[in-house]
Every structure is written in structure tokens, then in C-alpha cells.
């Protein structure tokens, strides 16, 4: 299956638009990661633990997007957008939310 952030396919004609597909991945924050992230905030630098979580989450969201598009009979998804955000859970922590959305197509 073809996955792309572009809104069209160069040299290929889209036969059918099958609709918008979305996929969401949610991760709970980890106290150890939070601790090391806090240290990074004080001394500066990148927070590798969270970068890896977002990277993994984006891969999983795209994989789920591909699966959902396949159920519609698609062989591609165009106009993909990856959105990352957080869900605050008061004092109990934060959830990391990664959403992938695009248009399922048959070409």
C-alpha cells in the first residue's frame, strides 16, 4: 500500500476516493521517562526517551492507518497528516496521543 503526505500521485490516476481514514495511538507517560525529561529540561538537550516514543507511535499510527484503509479496499492513502498532542489527566499524569489521518484511495 502506498502512503504519502502529498494530495495527489504524480503520473498516476486516482480511480476512486474511499473517504477519510484515521488512526490513533495513545501512550501513558512513564515516571522514569518523566524523571529523565525533567533533568534534560534543567541541563538542556534533547529528550531521547520521548523522541523514541513519538517515533514508535508514528510508525504504529501509520501501520494502523494502512490497515483501516485496506479494510475499505484502498491501495493507497494520500494527504496523510501526523498530529501529536497530549491528554492531561490531572495529577495522575499525561497521555501522549499520536493521530494519523488521510484519504483512502484506489489508484
List the chain domain ranges.
2-106
pTM above 0.85, yes or no: no
Walk along the chain (107 residues) and give the pLDDT tens digit of each residue.
Answer: 999 999 999 999 999 999 999 999 998 766 445 555 555 555 566 667 677 888 899 999 999 999 999 999 999 999 999 999 888 777 767 788 999 999 999 99
Task: Give the domain 2-106 fold.
Answer: Translation Initiation Factor IF3 (3.30.110)
Predicted pLDDT at 31: 46
Predicted pLDDT at 47: 65
Predicted pLDDT at 32: 44
Predicted pLDDT at 81: 98
Predicted pLDDT at 2: 96
Kindly report the three-state secondary structure assignment for every residue of the chain. CEECCCCCCCCCCCCEEEEEEEEEEEEECCHHHHHHHHHHHHHCCCCHHHHHHHHHHHHHHHHHHHHHHHHCCCCEEEEEEEEEEEEECHHHCEEEEEEEEEEEEEC
Amino acid at each position: 500500500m502506498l502512503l504519502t503526505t502529498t494530495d495527489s500521485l504524480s503520473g498516476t490516476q486516482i480511480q476512486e476516493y474511499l473517504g477519510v481514514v484515521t488512526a490513533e495511538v495513545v501512550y501513558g507517560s512513564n515516571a522514569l521517562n518523566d524523571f529523565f525529561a525533567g533533568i534534560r529540561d534543567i541541563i538542556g538537550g534533547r529528550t531521547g526517551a520521548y523522541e523514541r516514543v513519538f517515533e514508535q507511535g508514528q510508525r504504529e499510527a501509520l501501520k494502523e492507518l494502512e490497515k483501516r484503509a485496506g479494510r475499505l479496499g484502498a491501495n493507497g492513502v494520500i494527504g496523510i497528516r501526523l498530529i501529536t498532542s497530549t491528554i492531561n489527566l490531572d495529577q495522575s499524569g499525561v497521555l501522549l496521543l499520536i493521530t494519523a489521518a488521510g484519504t483512502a484511495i484506489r489508484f
